[in-house]
Structure 1
Amino acid sequence: MSETSISLFLVLSLLNVAASTGNGELEILLSLPQTIQSSATPNPFSSWIPTASPCDFVGIKCDKNGSVTELDLSRQWLAGMVNFSLVCALPSLERLALGFNSLGGAVSANLGRCSKLWYLDLGNNRFSGSFPEVPSLVALQYLYLNKSGLSGAFPWGSLRSMPNLVALSVGDNRFEPSPFPLEVLDLLDLNWLYLSNCSIQGRIPPGIGRLTKLVNLELSANNITGEIPNEIGNLTSLWQLELYRNSLTGKFPPGMRNLTKLENFDASRNNLQGDLSELSYLTNLVTLQLFLNNFSGGIPPEFGNFRKLVNLSLYTNQLTGPLPEMLGSWTEFIYIDVSENSLTGRIPPNMCKKGKMKELLVLQNNLSGEIPATYANCSTLTRFRVSKNLLIGAVPRGLWGLPNVNIIDLEKNQLEGGVTSDIQNAKSLGQLFIANNKFSGDLPEEISKAESLAAIDVSNNGFTGRLPQSIGELKKLSSLHVENNMFLGLIPESLGSCNSISDVNMANNSLSGGIPASLGSLPVLNSLNLSDNMISGSIPVSLSSLRLSLLDLSNNRLTGQIPQSLSIQAYNGSFAGNPGLCSYTISSFRQCSSHPGMSKGIRTLLVCFSLLAVLLCICLGFCSYQNKREKKCERSLKEDSWDVKSFRVLSFTEDEILESIKPENLIGRGASGNVYRVVLVNGKELAVKHIWNTNCNNQKKARATTPILGACEKRSWEFDAEVETLSSIRHVNVVKLYCSITSDDSSLLVYEYLPNGSLWDRLHTSRKIDLDWETRYHIAVGAAKGLEYLHHGYEKPVLHRDVKSSNILLDEFMKPRIADFGLAKILIVNGGKDSTHVIAGTHGYIAPEYGYTYKVNEKSDVYSFGVVLMELVTGKRPIEAEFGDNKDIVNWVSSKLKTRESVLSMVDSRIPEVFKDDAIKVLTVAIRCTATLPNLRPAMRSVVHMLEEAEPCKLVRIIIEKDENGRG
C-alpha cells in the first residue's frame, strides 16, 4: 500500500472513530498537521502530542466538558491545505480562526458541516476557487474572508441564512463583478461591513440606511457609480467610512452632518463635487482624505477647531480661500496635503505645535506671507513642500537643518535671504529644490556635510560667490542645477568625485577658469551644460569618454581644438560662441592648424612628408589588395592577430569586414565607437561597430596621469557587456550579433544591418517620415516583445539600462529591433530581486528612482520604454523647450490629463482622427509605465498584453481603405 493510501486510510479511520464514538477529538487534531505545516517559532504543533489533553494544545480551547470549541491557529505561519471534513468532525467547534497564514487549496463545501460555528476567519490566505454555498452556518456572527485568494461568483444568497451576522468582511478578492448585494441590507445587526476591492459595481442602494448599527463601512476600490445616497445620514454610529477609488459623483448629501461619531473618512479618487460644508459638523474626525476630486469652495473654518484631526489630505481639487488659522493646534498633528488647489492666505503656524508633524505639503496654491518660524523647530518633519506659491521673506534659519527632513521644496516663490550653514545638520536631506526665488549670497561650504543629498536645484536665483569647493564629498549626488545665478570662480575640481552624478547644469553664471578634466571620468554623467559663462582653456579630451545626451559649452572663452569624438551631429550648437575654438570637421568653425607655432617652411615640409606618406599608404594598400587577390602574399602580422568568435553561421570572412572599415562606409559615430555599413560580395549588408582600445595596457599602468584612461576602460567594459548579452539572444525583436572580431588594438562587433535607421531618426530628425498609426503601433508592440524577452526569457533577467528611441532600429519592413547593449547588465537572482548599483541611461529617459537610490531593476527599463511610447503617440522628443524649465515629456503628459480635449491635443497631428482613440490607449499604457514608484509600473509581460489589447480597430482600417479608393 502506498504512503498516500496509508495516510488516506488513517484519516478515514479517524473520521469513523470520531463519528461513532464521539471521543475521537484527539485523533482528529493529531491528523491536522499531516496536511498543514508551520514555520513559526515556536511551532504551535510541538505541543500537539498524543499523551496530552487536546485542551492543552496551543490554539485549542475546550468547554467545561472537555470538548473542543475553538481552533485558533491564526498568524502561525501555516502552509498547506485544510481538510475541512476533518476540522468539521469536531462536534462542538464554535470558533475557527485560520487567518493571516499562507494556506492554499479550495474551501470545500464540507465547511458547512461546522454547523455550530459563530466565528469563522479564513482571511489573508492563498485559497483558490470560489467560496461554497454554506446555508447551514445559521449561527454565524463573524465571517472574515478578506484577502483570502478566492475568486468566482460569491454566494451572496447564503447570507439570508445568517441573520445574526455582526461582521462581514469579504473584500480584496477577485470575485466576478456584481451589483451591490441586496442580501446584505437584511443583516440588521451588522456593525462591520468590509466590501472593498471585490468587484462591486453600480450604485449604493438607499437601503444602506437600514444598517443603523454599522460602525465600519468600507466600499473602496470598486466600480461604484452615482451619488452617495441621502440615507447614509442614518448611520449615526459610523466610526469609519471608506469610499475611495470609485466613480462616485454629485455632492455630499445633507444627512452627512449626522455622522458625528465618524473619525476616519476617505472618499478620495472619485468625481465628487460641491463644497465641504456638510463636514463642518464632524468634530470627531481624526483622518480626512478627499484628494483627487472636484470639490470647490472654501475649507470650513470649523476644521481649525477639530480637537482630534491629525491627517488632512485634500490635494488636487478646486478649493479656494484660506486654511483655518488654528488647524492642527489641538492634537499631535501628523500630515497635511492640500496641494494643487487655489488656496490663499497664510500657512497655519501651529500644525507642529505638539511636535509630531511629519509632512507639510501645500505646493501649487496661491498662499502668501512668510513661512512661519515655528517650523524651524519641527524636528519630526520629513517632507516640507511649499513650492509654486506666493511666499515671501526669509526662510527660518533652523528649517535648513532639520535632522529628519528628506525633501525641502521651496521652488517658484518670492523667498529671499540665503541658505544658512545650518544645512550641515540636515543629515537625511536627499532633495533640495529652491529654484526660481530671490535667494542671494553664497551657497555655504557646509552644504557638503548634508551627506544624503542626491538632488540640488538652486537655479534662477541671485546667488553669488564661489561654488562650494568641497561639493565632491556628496557621494550620492545625482543632479546639480545652479544655472541662472551669479556664481563666479572655478568649477569645483572635487565635482569629479561625485560618481553618482548624471545631470549638471551651471549655465548663465560668471564661472571662469578651465573645465576640470576629472569630469570626463564621471561614469554616469548624461547631461552637461556649462554655457554662458567665462570659462577658458581647452576642452578636455577626457569628455570624449562620456555618453552625453546633452552637451552645451556655448558662449564661453574656450580655445583650441574641439575633440574629434565630440564633433558629431548630436552636439551641433554645443560649442557656438567660442571664437577661439577650431575644428577639423565642423565647417562653422575655423579649421585647426596642426602646429600654429611652426614656421611656414617647416609647415610646408610637413605637408610634403604627409603627402608622401599618404601616397606610400595607397601604394602599399594597392599591393596588399593585389597580393590577396592573387594569393601570392602571406598574411601580415596584424591580420594574424585577429580573433574571431562567431555566434551564428557566417557567410563572410574577417577580411571582408576589415577591408570595409574605411571613412566612406561610416554611417554613425558615438561615444562607444564608430559604426560602418559593410556590403559583402554576395550583396548582403552588415553593420560593424568599431571600438579602438589601443594602448589600454599602457594606460592602465599610467592610471594617475592619463586623462583618456576612462574612455579606454569604458569601451572595453561596454564591449564585454554587449558581447555577453547579445551572443546568446535569439529573438526577432532584438538585433542579431553575428560575431566579434578582436585584436590588441581594437574590437569589432558585426550585426545585421537595419536600413531604416532608428525610431528617433524617423520621428525627430531630418530623416523623419510620416509614420502612420498602425506602423507606430506595431513598432511599439515589437519593441515591447523584445524587452519582454530580455526581462522574462532568461533564468536571469537582462537589464538594458539605455532604452530609448535611438536604440530601437527598424528593418526594411519597419519591424523594430532593440539595439545597443553597451550598458546592459544581467541581474543576479539571490533569493529576491537584485538590482544594479550603476546609474546609466539617457537624459529624458532616466527613471526617477535614479535620483534617490542606487538600487534599480528592470522596472527602470519599463519607465524608459514608457517614454518611447509617449514619443510614438505625441511625436515629441523627451525634452522639448515647450515643456518648460526642468520638465520632460512625462511631466508634460501628466499636466495635460485634465479633460478629454486636452488629452486628445497631445496626439501627434499626423495621426488621423479615426486612430486617436487607439493612440490614447497606448498613451494610457505609457502613463502606467512611467509611474513615479517602480512597484506601480507593470512588468514588460503585462505591457505587451496591454498593448496587444490596444490594437487598432480593423473596421477603421477597412473604412479608411474604402475612403482612399473612393468606394466608401
Structure 2
Amino acid sequence: MKNKLPVVLHLFIFFILLHSSNGFSDLDALLKLKQSMAVAPERSGLDDWVAPLPNSIVSNSHCSFSGVTCDENSRVTSLIISNVALNGSIPPEIGVLNKLVNLTLTSNGLTGELPVEMCNLTSIRFINFSTNAITGEFPGEIVAAMAELEVFDVYNNNFSGMLPLEFVKLKNLKKLFLGGNFFSGEIPEDYSEFQSLQSLGLQGNALTGRIPWSLSRLSTLEELCLGYFNSYDGGIPPEFGSFKSLKLLDIGGCDLSGEIPESLGNLKMLHTLFLQFNNLTGEIPPDLSGLVSLKSLDLSSNNLTGGIPESFSELKNLTLLNLFLNHLSGPIPPFIGDLPNLEVLQLWTNNFTFSLPPNLGSNGKLLILDVDGNHLTGTIPQDLCKGGKLQILVLMVNYFFGPLPEKLGDCKSLTKIRIMNNFFNGTIPAGVFNLPELTMLELDNNYFSGELPAEMYSESLQIVSISNNRLTGIIPPAIGGLVNITKLSLQSNNLIGGIPEEMFNLKRLYAINFSDNNLTGEIPADIGNCSDLTSLDLSRNELHGEFPRGILSLSSLNILNVSRNNLIGEIPAKLGHMKSLTVLDLSYNQFSGRVPSDGQLKDFNDTVFAGNPNLCSPHLPHCESITNLKHHSVSLNKSKLFLSIFIPITITFSILIFFLLIKQKNKIQKSKSWKLTTFQRLDFKAEDVIVCLKDENIIGKGGAGIVYRGSMPNGIDVAIKRLMGRNHGFEAEIQTLGTIKHRNIVRLLGYVCNRDTNLLLYEFMSHGSLGEILHGPKGAHLQWETRCKIAIEAAKGLCYLHHDCSPLIIHRDVKSNNILLDSDYEAHVADFGLAKFLRDAGGSECMSSIAGSYGYIAPEYAYTLKVDEKSDVYSFGVVLLELISGKKPVGEFGDGVDIVRWVRETISEIPPPPETAVVVAVVDCRLKGYVLESVVDMFKIAMMCVEEESTRRPNMREVVQMLTNGNL
C-alpha cells in the first residue's frame, strides 16, 4: 500500500463522520455526491435529487432518485448515472453507500482521483467509470477490499503508473477493462494467474516489452484486447493458439513484428481476429481456415505477402475481410464471391490482379467493397447490389473497363461511388443522380460519354465529380435539383452551351470547376447567390461578356480562375477588396483598361493578367502603347514639371531615410533591452546574437521573416530568424515549441526579444533546405537512397507533431523549403511560423484565410478554410512527388497546373498497365541506378497522401509505417 499514513487518516476522519451522533445516511451521501459532481447547466439528469421537506416523515425519498435502486431497508444497492455531463470529482462520502452492488458513472466528465474511502464498498460487484477523466496512479488498496468484485471498467480515463497487481487476487473477477489510459511498463506475468477472468482490456495505454506468452494459461478468457498505442517487442506468442475459450483477439496497432503464428488456427471459438496496423510479415497462414467460427478478420496495414489462401473458402461465417495496405498479390479467389455471409471486403492498396469474382454480391448481403489501388481489370459484377444493401463502392485506380451496370442506378442503399482512374466507358446510369442516400459520386478520369441526364433530384448528393471524361451536350438545368450539393466538378469534358442559371440557387455550393470544356454565353449574374462559394474555375472555355459583378459579392471566395475565355471590359476595382481571394487568374481574355492599383490586386504577379493585349498595368510592358495618344504631349509637359519638383525631394528624402536606417541598425545592435531566453544551456549572450544581424549573413528570406547565419564565440553556428512584427502570443507558443525534442525537428535553442523585435535561435543546418538542393544544381547529387532517407525522416518529424507531442501541432506550411538538411543530409522539419496547436486530438480549426504555400495547399483547406492534420499529409504527399520527379510543385507544367494535377493527367494518358509506366514517365532524369520497385512504392504512398478527400488520406503514423516497411 502506497503512502499508508494519509490513507489511515482519511479513513479515521471518514468513520468519525459516519458514526457521529447525527449519523450520515445514504440520502446525505447522495446529496453530497450531487454537490461534488455538479451537472453541466445545459444538461439535466439529477434534477430530482432533492432533500425532503423539513419535518417530513418520508425516510426513503432517495430511493426514487433517478439512477438509484434500494433494497428493502432503503439502503442504496445500485447507482447508475451515465451521459449527464457530470463534472467535479467523486467525494469521500461515496464510502457511506456500503451496500452498493453496482456503481456505474460512465460517459460523464469526472476528474480527480478515486477516493480511498471506496475501500468501504465491500459488497460491490460491478464498477464502471469508463469515459471520464479520472487521474492519478491506481489505488490498489481500494481493489484489495472489494473481494466480491466481478466487473471493473475504467476504460478511457487518465490513470497512470504500472498495471496494478491487486486484481489478480480477486477470485470472482470476470471482466477487467483498463484500456484507454496511460498505464506504462510491461504486462505483469502475474496477469496469467486470474482464476475466473473472461475479458481483459489493456488496449490504448503506453505498455512496452513483450506480450507474455503465459497469458495463454487463462483458460476462462473469452476476450483479449492488447493493442493501440501500446508498443511491444517481438511478435504474437505462438502459445496463444492454446486458448480454450477465446472468442475475440484484438492486438492491432502495437508494433508487432514477425509472422502470424499458424497455431492461431486452433482457436475454434474465435469470432474476431484483429491484427491490423502492425509490422507483421510473411504470408497469411492457410491454417487460419481452422477458425470455423470466425466472423471478422482484419490483417490490414502490415507487410504481408503472397495471396489469399484457397483454404479460406472454409470460412463460411466470415462477414468482414480487411486486408488493405499490404503487399498481397495474385488474383482475388473466386470463392470470395461465394462466401454466404460476406458484408465487408476491403483490399485496397495491394497488388491484386485479374478481375473481381463474378459472383461478388450475389449473397445479397454486401455492404462495402473497396479495392482501390490494385491492378484489377475486367468488368463490374452485375449483382453487387443484389440484396439492395450495398453502401460503399470504391474501385478507383485500377484498370476496370466496360460500362457500369444499369442496376447501380437502382441501388437505393448506396452512399458513395468512387471509381476514378479506370477505363470505364459508355453512359452513366441516369438513376445514380437520383439515389436517395448517395452523398458522393466520383467518376473522374475514365471514358464515360453521352450526355448528363435531364432529371436530377437527389437531395442527398453533396459531391459530384466527373472530370476528364468524354461527356457531351449541355449542363442540364435539372442540375439545380441537387439542392445539397457542395462540390461540382465537370472539367475536361466536351460540354457545350451556357452555364444554367438554375445551379446558382444551390446555396451550399463551395466549389465549382467547369474548366476545359466548350461552354459559351455569359457567366450568369446570379452567381452571387452561391454565398458559400470558395472556389470557382471556369477557365479554358469560350465564355464572353463582361466580368460578372455577382462574383464581387462572394465574400468567402479563395480561388477564382476565368482564364482563357473571351471576357471583355474593365477589371472592377472592387475585385482588389475581396480579402479572402488568394488564387486569381484572369489571363488570356480580352480585358481592357487599367488594372486597379488599390487593394490586393497589386500583390498578384504579372501572369495573372497576361494575354490581355488591351490591359494596362505598371507591370505590363505594353501599357504605354495603349495610352490615349492625344494626351501624350500634355502628359509629357506635366511629367517634366513633376520631375523637376520630385527628383530633388526624392534625393533629400532618400538621404534622410538612409541615415535613419543607419541609426536604427545601430540601435538594434547596441540596445541593452534585449533579453535572451534559452531552452538548453547556451554559451553565448544576447549581444553575440545581435551583432550577427548583418546583410552579409542573410541566408534566407520569407513571408515570416529574415534568416541570418550567426557564428557564436564558442565556434557554434546558429540560425537566427528575425520575425516580422510583434506577436503578443509569441512567448506562450514559443515556450511550447521550445519543449519539442525530436531528432527530425529543427531544435529551437531559444529566443532573443525586446519590445519591438523577436529573434528565434535554431540549430544551424549546413546543407540548407531540401527545396534549394533538389531544385538547384546540386539536385543531381541527391540520389534515390538519400531521397528515401529524407522522406522517412521528415515523415517521422511530422508524425511526432501530429500524434505524440502535447499539445498536438499542425504545421500548415509543409514544403520542401521547410525541410532542412544537416551535414549528414538528415532531414529536420522547420519553420513553425504558421503552426497551429490542436487542443483536441482529431479536431480541426477553421482559419480566417488561407495560409501556406501555393502548390502544397490541400483542396479542403482552400475550399472550407478548415484545417486538420490531413492538410499536412497532403502537403507532404506533394513533397514526395517532388522527390520522385525532381520538379517544383508549380511553374513547370503550364498555367494553373500543379504537380499533383500533372501527375494525374500523366496517369490518364498512359494505357494500362500505367503504374510503372507513369513512374518512368515522371521520375527525375537525374536519378541513376534506382530500384524501380522502390520508386513505385513511394509513388503509391504519395498518391494516397494527395487524395482529394481528406478522409481517404493516411495519417502520418501510417505514412511512416508504409515508408519504413515497404521496399524503399
TM-score by length of structure 1 reads 0.67
- The one-letter amino acid of 1:404's match is E
**What secondary structure, in the 3-state scheme, does the structure 2 residue paired with 1:57 have?**
strand
1:296-445 correspondence runs (5 A): 296-423=329-456, 425-445=457-477
* Inter-CA distance 542–771: structure 2 relative to 1 (3 Å threshold): farther
Kept after mapping to 1: 8 A contact 2:248/2:270: yes
Bigger shift: 363-372 or 138-147? 138-147
1:814-825 correspondence runs (5 A): none
* Inter-CA distance 931–15: structure 2 relative to 1 (3 Å threshold): farther
C-alpha distance in 1 between matches for 2:871 and 2:291 = 46
Once the two structures are superposed, residues 74-126 of structure 1 have per-residue CA deviations (whole angstroms, 9 ceiling, x without a partner) of 52737356658644455555554444444332223322343444443333333
Aligned to 1:812: none
**What secondary structure, in the 3-state scheme, does the structure 2 residue paired with 1:260 have?**
coil
**What secondary structure, in the 3-state scheme, does the structure 1 residue paired with 2:369 have?**
strand
Bigger shift: 240-249 or 77-86? 77-86
- The one-letter amino acid of 2:620's match is I
- The one-letter amino acid of 1:850's match is Y
1:600-679 correspondence runs (5 A): 603-618=632-647
- The one-letter amino acid of 2:197's match is L
Kept after mapping to 1: 8 A contact 2:584/2:608: yes
The Cα shift of 1:296 comes to 1.9
C-alpha distance in 2 between matches for 1:437 and 1:491 = 23
Aligned to 1:490: 522
C-alpha distance in 2 between matches for 1:767 and 1:614 = 45
C-alpha distance in 2 between matches for 1:524 and 1:164 = 62
- The one-letter amino acid of 2:336's match is F
Once the two structures are superposed, residues 656-689 of structure 1 have per-residue CA deviations (whole angstroms, 9 ceiling, x without a partner) of xxxxxxxxxxxxxxxxxxxxxxxx9x9999x999
C-alpha distance in 2 between matches for 1:934 and 1:338 = 16
CA RMSD for the aligned pairs? 6.2
C-alpha distance in 1 between matches for 2:400 and 2:581 = 40
C-alpha distance in 2 between matches for 1:76 and 1:210 = 36
Is 1:58 matched up with 2:78? Answer: yes
* Inter-CA distance 908–93: structure 2 relative to 1 (3 Å threshold): farther
Kept after mapping to 2: 8 A contact 1:211/1:235: yes
* Inter-CA distance 356–28: structure 2 relative to 1 (3 Å threshold): same
Bigger shift: 34-43 or 522-531? 34-43
The Cα shift of 1:235 comes to 1.0
Kept after mapping to 1: 8 A contact 2:561/2:586: yes
Is 1:129 matched up with 2:133? Answer: no
**What secondary structure, in the 3-state scheme, does the structure 2 residue paired with 1:510 have?**
coil
The equivalent position to 1:41 in structure 2, one of 41, 45, 51, is 45
1:540-555 correspondence runs (5 A): 540-545=572-577, 551-555=584-588
Aligned residues with identical type, % of pairs: 27
Bigger shift: 878-887 or 118-127? 878-887
* Inter-CA distance 889–854: structure 2 relative to 1 (3 Å threshold): closer
* Inter-CA distance 181–737: structure 2 relative to 1 (3 Å threshold): same
Unmatched 5+ stretches in structure 1: 61-65, 630-646, 653-679, 690-721, 741-757, 810-814, 951-968
C-alpha distance in 2 between matches for 1:649 and 1:476 = 56
Once the two structures are superposed, residues 608-656 of structure 1 have per-residue CA deviations (whole angstroms, 9 ceiling, x without a partner) of 2432343244467789999x99xxxxxxxxxxxxxxxxx999889xxxx
Is 1:879 matched up with 2:890? Answer: yes
- The one-letter amino acid of 2:355's match is P
Kept after mapping to 2: 8 A contact 1:238/1:262: yes
The Cα shift of 1:348 comes to 2.7
C-alpha distance in 2 between matches for 1:586 and 1:825 = 39
**What secondary structure, in the 3-state scheme, does the structure 1 residue paired with 2:257 have?**
strand
* Inter-CA distance 735–342: structure 2 relative to 1 (3 Å threshold): farther
Aligned to 1:12: 12
Kept after mapping to 1: 8 A contact 2:398/2:422: yes
* Inter-CA distance 174–93: structure 2 relative to 1 (3 Å threshold): same
The Cα shift of 1:29 comes to 8.4
Kept after mapping to 1: 8 A contact 2:889/2:898: no
Kept after mapping to 2: 8 A contact 1:556/1:577: yes
C-alpha distance in 2 between matches for 1:885 and 1:623 = 45
The Cα shift of 1:220 comes to 0.9
The equivalent position to 1:189 in structure 2, one of 207, 215, 220, is 220
The Cα shift of 1:465 comes to 0.9
C-alpha distance in 2 between matches for 1:216 and 1:688 = 54
The Cα shift of 1:287 comes to 1.6
The Cα shift of 1:127 comes to 1.8
* Inter-CA distance 369–18: structure 2 relative to 1 (3 Å threshold): same
The equivalent position to 2:539 in structure 1, one of 501, 507, 518, is 507
Unmatched 5+ stretches in structure 2: 50-61, 81-96, 658-663, 670-692, 704-722, 735-747, 758-767, 821-827, 908-914
Is 1:227 matched up with 2:280? Answer: no
Aligned to 1:152: 184
Once the two structures are superposed, residues 202-237 of structure 1 have per-residue CA deviations (whole angstroms, 9 ceiling, x without a partner) of 122322221132111111111222222221221111
- The one-letter amino acid of 1:356's match is K
C-alpha distance in 2 between matches for 1:878 and 1:491 = 31
Aligned to 1:459: 491
C-alpha distance in 2 between matches for 1:273 and 1:345 = 23
The Cα shift of 1:464 comes to 0.9
The Cα shift of 1:450 comes to 2.6
* Inter-CA distance 373–648: structure 2 relative to 1 (3 Å threshold): farther
* Inter-CA distance 595–808: structure 2 relative to 1 (3 Å threshold): farther
Once the two structures are superposed, residues 126-180 of structure 1 have per-residue CA deviations (whole angstroms, 9 ceiling, x without a partner) of 32211222376251452422425142224522234324333222222211x2222
Aligned to 2:846: 835
Aligned to 1:259: 291
* Inter-CA distance 79–329: structure 2 relative to 1 (3 Å threshold): same
C-alpha distance in 2 between matches for 1:354 and 1:926 = 34
Once the two structures are superposed, residues 662-718 of structure 1 have per-residue CA deviations (whole angstroms, 9 ceiling, x without a partner) of xxxxxxxxxxxxxxxxxx9x9999x999xxxxxxxxxxxxxxxxxxxxxxxxxxxxx
C-alpha distance in 1 between matches for 2:753 and 2:954 = 29
C-alpha distance in 2 between matches for 1:798 and 1:267 = 30
The Cα shift of 1:493 comes to 3.3
The Cα shift of 1:872 comes to 10
C-alpha distance in 2 between matches for 1:314 and 1:924 = 16
C-alpha distance in 1 between matches for 2:218 and 2:171 = 13
Structure label with greater radius of gyration: 1
**What secondary structure, in the 3-state scheme, does the structure 2 residue paired with 1:200 have?**
coil
**What secondary structure, in the 3-state scheme, does the structure 1 residue paired with 2:152 have?**
strand
C-alpha distance in 1 between matches for 2:434 and 2:666 = 64
* Inter-CA distance 388–223: structure 2 relative to 1 (3 Å threshold): same
C-alpha distance in 1 between matches for 2:665 and 2:806 = 19
Counting matched residue pairs gives 810
